[in-house]
Amino acid sequence: MDYDKGSAADLLGTVVLPCDKFNRTNGFEGVLELEKCGKGHKATLTVQVSVLWFEPPPPVSVDGSRLKVSIVSASGLRAADWSFGGGKSDPFCVCEVEGLEGEAAMAVRTKHISKTLDPVWGEEHELPIYETGQNLSFKVYDYDQGSAADLLGRVILPAYEFDNETGFEGDLRLFEGDAAKLHVKVQVLPPLLPDAPLVSEVGSRLKVKIVSAKGLRAADWSLRGPGTSDPFCTCEVMDNPDLKVETKHISKTLDPVWNEEHEIPIYEQGNRLLFQVFDYDRGSAADLLGRATLLCRNFDRDGGFEGDLRLFEEGTGSGSGTVAFLHVRVEVLPPLLPDAPPVSEPGSRLRVKVLSARGLRAADWALRGPGSSDPFCHCEVEGKPDLSFKTKHISKTLSPVWNHEHEVPMYDRGDALLFKVFDYDRGSSADLLGRATLPGRDFDREGGFEGELRLMESGKGAKAFLKVRVDVLPPVLEAAPPVSEPGSKLSVTILSAKGLRAADWGGKSDPFCCCEVRGKPETKFQTKHKDKTLAPVWNEDHEVDDYDHGDCLEFKVFDHDLGSSADLLGRVLLPCNYFDREGGFEGDLNLMECGKGCNASIRVRVTVLPSPYPAAEPVSEPGSRVRITMLGAQGLRAADFSLVGKGKSDPFCVCQVKGRPETKVQTKHLSKTLEPVWNETHEISDYDRGESLDFQVLDHDIGSAADLLGRVSLPSRAFDRAGGFEGEVQLKECGKGHQATLRLKIEVVSGAMFPPAPPISVEGSRLKITIVGATGLRAADVGIMGGKSDPYCVCTIQGKKDMTFKTRHINKTLAPLWNEEHELSPYTRGDALDFTVFDKDVGTADDLLGRVVLSGGDFDRKGGFEGELKLRECGRNKTAALRVKIAVLPPLKPELPAISVPGSALQVTIISAKGLRAADYSIFGGGKSDPFCICEIRGKPKTKCTTRHIDKTLAPAWNEEHEVPEYERGDLLDFAVMDYDVGSSADLLGRATLEGRDFDHADGFEGEVELHDCGDKPATLKVRIRVLLPPPEEPRASVPGSRLRVAVVRAGGLRAADWDIRGSSSDPFCKVQIKGKDASKRETAWIGRTLEPVWNEEFEIDDYATGEDLEFTVMDYDRASAADLLGRVSLAARHFDRAFGYAGTLKLRDCGAGTPSTLTVRVEVLPPLREGERVAEPGCVLR
């Protein structure tokens, strides 16, 4: 590098020395040729490398070890601050355990020493937690008041250097610090306390006493004297911030004494404790003053832990360098209750009584007297928020008495209860007053639990408690075997409710009830609403499909509000073991979230019904179709208001395979009826066994989205059977109080439209497709003489987007006649055909007029297919059809043996094209194009070659020959004809693909291929292709460690990349490298203003492995911008890795349209420099 004071260093050159060059007995001494040293420059570097071997000593650290780190001094630091008397720095040093971040990070920092480049700190620090294998990071900074510190140097000290019997003492060379050194001493200390047996057990708790702190930094500035802080301390179980306690803050001190004792109710063996001391700031975030971690081995023992913990500050370049300590006492307490066998069983419930609280903090300010709160309590099964309830709030008290009892209907053994006490605030979010967790082991026992729970996060210095009682109740019903089976349904009768809260002004509600299988929103239904009552009687029966054993039912009662969202009046879950039994369930269920002080319930009856579709063998097979007749509907709601008489709807029905919107079919809409009769039959192709059908009945509205009148899902077992399905199905979401039905007839039929016949396609077969015409299309364009469309048709082999074509569009017709014949190849047996008809629109997206799929079995047979196909998605009330003719053709040529071998290439002659479309407009009449052709092996973009473009023609003749490398048997060859446009991207004029079987034989290929995506008229491309075989295989000259001598001689026929007043030219240079090895890259000097450069430069490339190819790239040198590509070529190893190497001229690719460029090179394989015994092993050091 070139050193620049005050700015970034400039690169003068780089070189890589492979390990095999120095990893030997005598090491390496020699001259290395630098790369990236400037075009035309040759620079060298002389180095000596020796391998020193030693065996690292065994580590002495154990679990709980500590480190004593002495940061003694530094020397030779750079001057970071400018001064008239010579620059200086104000250095300080930071040491941290490498790889630890966030709360686990530990860093010690020295004080800063002013105006010196050779500071002497002489400071000793202790890192209280060290694990075997952790390295130490040292960083030296320049202290700047009011701005970020500047890095003066850094170094990593590996663990094996100090984790041994003698530790480490010595100088460390600083990186990014020129020749600066840091003197340190590091020693591994034994654990703070000797090993001792753990005393915790399941259900243990912790008693934490936060005594005091000393030596804290001043976080607040003061006009009077030195700064100070308002410290408080938090303690939490690491990785579980819910288990956190906090002291009060003490004003204006750096040595606070709290003497506060707290209890952490849940402790699991192995948990660490995190202590953090903060500076309290009213109205802003607290500032961290330091943190410390206490390992479980230090307190989970007989007698616990009491002592000072060293506080570490956040970050590596901040803080004052002061040393602060926190004095704590931690003791493991036995479980609140002794072990006892659990009493819960499947289906158990909980009876939770929230009795009272005391010692709450005042969340509301008062003008007269002390503040107060309006507390209420929220309880939930931890991790299951739908199993929750809350008490009423009690105004203006810090010792509320609720005596609120609630039943939790579902309890699984091991679940804990989470209690949170809040202060109620009308119109704003509630304030947390404290929270507590009650583990399942404390109440899932004989006699349950009754007692006080210490509230955490109850406020600085506050000690608050919550008194509760929890009992496990047996299941409502004795265990009974389930009666459900696959396909079972539920009969749900929502009878009534009582004790609901008044949600409307005037003291009443307008309740209705929703029910669904939890986790299956499509099963939801709802009752009608009852006006102005708190004890509604619905007596509504509903059926729920798609019930699986284990599903729960969720009931929610709402207050109906016209024009606004409904208010929740209560909710409850009904577990499956209540109703999935002989006789089902009938009874009252207590509602949760029914309002403060309300005890509301809902009465329901639930019975499991047998599957309406007895088990039967499915009849579908791969490629089957479903024939669906949507007969009619009854009982629909009125979606449209009418001034005369009752409201009506304009219903239509939509059907699709669940999750596959492309299969959608729909009926026409019928005006002003609630009992439509459609009698429309539609088919959905490509049906897979097990797929359900979704039906929706909608109200047609001109100019707005259709309104849902009802929906239903029909499982496959209902219709995928002999005889299919015919009958009525009940619609869901059909309106409050409405019971609507849909009548259907469904039949699964064979995928083929004709009886099975043997296929006639073979490998390489083609399809001749004639798109004859269409009838009954909808009018997509509005006209004063009536609506019309401008239709065209697209045909694609399903799943193969590159195998497609489209017809021309025909203006202003609903019954187009195309009579266009196209060919698609290759065709693979079993492929289906997608036909899509569109309306052509200039300047906007084309409109869909209909689509249909034709399965391979319908045309891959003797005689092919000719007939009409009914279009889907062709518009409401429309029945449109497409007439096509399809024949399977034999391959272009009989199967011939392939001649390609590994290493083959292709000789591609792009001769001409004809029938191209005019891409450029001309004011002189008759548009033209400026066509050029691109050829490449599919999936290998580096094989691309391009012809020159020919101006203003629709029938270009190129007659250009190109060599395409890297051909492998079976590759596809893609051609694209493009229109050249100066200053904008080229336009596609057509594309074609040839399979390897078409040209990979002795005769090759010569002929015309039909272009796809070429516009409304047919166009063709004429090409000639021959397979070029590699030269006979010769013995390899390379061995492990071989080198290459590469001579870049000259180039010819390069394109002109630069233009100036003297004319156009280039400044070429050449790069060569082993493919995939950037470190092997070499480059020539650049030669100014020439298209025929002669370099005659020779390079040696080390570390060549047998089989590796060479890449050559010719570039145009530009002083102020990136180099331009003039051409590239690859030279396969087989051409030069032989006795006499390679000398010859290579044809460049990517060298510009119509520019035949070449590169002359020589390549020779050289033996290794020398053989030597390798001596390096893990742990070696390089000198």
> How much is the pLDDT for 1173?
45
Of residues 89, 27, 455, 76, the one with CA closest to residue 243: 455
pLDDT digits (tens, 9 = 90+) for 184-199: 999 999 988 888 899 9
CATH class of the domain at 489-609: mainly beta
pLDDT average, residue stretch 1090-1118: 91
Q: How confident is the model at residue 906 (pLDDT cuts 50, 70, 90)?
A: very high
Rounded to whole angstroms, how far apart are CA atoms 1145 and 1147?
A: 7
Higher pLDDT among residues 545 and 846, named by residue: 846
| pLDDT score of 53 | 63
CA distance 839 to 787: 12
- Give every CB contact of residue 975 below 8 A, 6+ residues apart in sequence: 910, 933, 934, 935, 991, 992, 993, 994, 1009, 1021, 1023
3-state secondary structure 929-995: CCEEEEEEECCCHHHCEECCCCCCCCCCEEEEEEEECCCCCCCCEEEEEEECCCCCCCEEEEEEEEC
- At residue 316, the pLDDT reads 37
CATH of domain 349-473: 2.60.40.150
CA angle 536, 542, 546 (to 5 degrees): 135
* Candidate from 440-449, 541-550, 666-675, 903-912 with smallest mean pLDDT: 541-550
Three-state secondary structure call for residue 9: coil
Give percent of the chain above pLDDT 90: 36
- Assess contact for 359 and 458: CB atoms under 8 A: yes
pLDDT, tens digit, 9 for 90 and up, residues 31-56: 888 887 776 677 888 888 877 766 77
> Could you tell me the pLDDT band of residue 177, with boundaries at 50, 70 and 90?
low
Q: Which of 1104, 1138, 1164, 1165 is nearest to 1035 (CA)?
A: 1138
Over the stretch 240-265, which tens digit does the pLDDT of each residue have? 777 888 888 999 999 999 998 888 88
Count Cβ atoms below 10 Å from residue 188 Cβ, excluding itself. 21
List, in sequence order, every residue forming a beta bridge with 978; answer none if it has no partner.
932, 988
Secondary structure of 996-1020 as H, E, C letters = HHHHCCCCCEEEEEECECCCCCCCE
Model confidence at 743, pLDDT cuts 50, 70, 90, reads very high
DSSP string, 1122-1145: PPEEEEEEEE-HHHHSSTT-EEEE
Q: Is the pLDDT of residue 18 over 60?
A: yes
What is the average pLDDT score of the chain?
86
Q: What gap in Å lies between CA 476 and CA 345, rounded to an integer?
A: 12
Closest CA to 912 of 964, 855, 955: 955
Tell whether the model's pLDDT for residue 225 goes beyond 80: no
Question: Under a CB-based contact definition with an 8 Å cutoff, are residues 423 and 373 in contact?
Answer: yes
What pLDDT shows up at residue 943?
Answer: 87
The Cα–Cα gap between 167 and 65 comes to 13
- Distances, alpha carbon 738 to alpha carbons 514, 546, 713, in Å: 14, 21, 18
- How many angstroms separate the CA atoms of 397 and 364, rounded? 10
The pLDDT confidence band at residue 537, using thresholds 50, 70 and 90, is very high
pLDDT tens readout for residues 69-117? 999 999 999 888 877 767 889 999 999 888 776 555 677 889 899 989 9
Pairing of strands 401-408, 417-423: unpaired
Q: pLDDT, tens digit, for every residue of 1028-1049?
A: 888 777 788 888 889 999 999 9
d(CA 27, CA 6): 38
* pLDDT above 60 for 436: yes
Domain covering 624-749 in this structure, CATH number: 2.60.40.150
The per-residue DSSP string of 29-42 comes to EEEEE-BSS-TT--
Span 651-692, pLDDT tens digits = 999 999 988 887 888 888 999 999 999 998 888 877 888 889
**Residue 1181: per-residue pLDDT:** 54
Of 569, 570, 610, 602, nearest to 586 (Cα)?
602
Average pLDDT of span 202-212? 91
Residue that the structure tokens 């790889």 belong to: 99
3-class secondary-structure state, position 789: coil
**Domain ranges in the chain?**
66-189, 205-333, 349-473, 489-609, 624-749, 766-882, 905-1028, 1042-1166
Instruction: Supply the pLDDT for residue 36.
Output: 79
Which fold does the domain 905-1028 belong to in CATH?
Immunoglobulin-like (2.60.40)
Mean pLDDT of 283-298: 87
Q: Mean pLDDT, to the nearest integer, of 280-286? A: 86
Residue 209 confidence (pLDDT) above 90? yes
Q: Per-residue pLDDT for 1178 more than 70? A: no
Rounded CA separation 335/204 (Å):
4
Asked whether the domain spanning 1042-1166 has the same topology as the one spanning 205-333, the reply is yes
Single-letter residue type at 35: E
819 CB neighbour count, 10 Å cutoff = 12
Q: If you average pLDDT over residues 1009-1027, what whole number do you get? A: 88
Handedness of CA 1084, 1086, 1087, 1091 (dihedral sign): positive
Q: Residue 737 has what pLDDT?
A: 67
- Cβ proximity of 309 and 294 under 8 Å: yes
Task: Report the pLDDT averaged over residues 610-630.
Answer: 84
What are the Cα distances from residue 709, in Å, to 163, 225, 726, 738? 76, 78, 21, 10
Q: Mind listing the pLDDT tens digit for each residue in 783-809?
A: 766 789 999 999 999 888 778 888 889
Q: b or e along 941-971 (b: 16 or more beta carbons within 10 Å of the residue's beta carbon)?
A: eebbbbbebbeeebebebebebebbbbeeeb
pLDDT at 57: 82
Per the model's pLDDT, the better-predicted residue between 146 and 666 turns out to be: 666
Name the CATH superfamily housing domain 66-189: C2 domain (2.60.40.150)
Question: Which amino acid, residue 524?
Answer: K
Residue 1016 pLDDT more than 80? Answer: no
Residue that has been written with the tokens 């004003």 in this structure: 251
List, as own/partner pairs, every contact residues 241-244 make where C-beta atoms lie below 8 angstroms and the sequence separation is at least 24, other chains included.
242/435, 242/437, 242/456, 243/437, 243/456, 244/456, 244/457
Contacts of 482 (CB under 8 A, 6+ apart): 549, 576, 577, 580, 581, 608
What is the CATH number assigned to the segment(s) 766-882?
A: 2.60.40.150
**Mean pLDDT of the 420-444 span:** 89
| Structure token digits, residue 412 | 């699984």
Report the topology of domain 205-333.
Immunoglobulin-like (2.60.40)
In CATH, what class is 1042-1166?
A: mainly beta
When mean pLDDT is compared over 79-88, 219-228, 507-516, the highest value belongs to 507-516
Question: How far apart (Å, rounded) are the C-alpha atoms in residues 1097 and 1085?
Answer: 8
Residues 217, 313 contacting (CB under 8 angstroms): yes
Strand partners, 260: 210
Closest listed residue to residue 440, CA positions, set 336, 332, 578, 353? 336
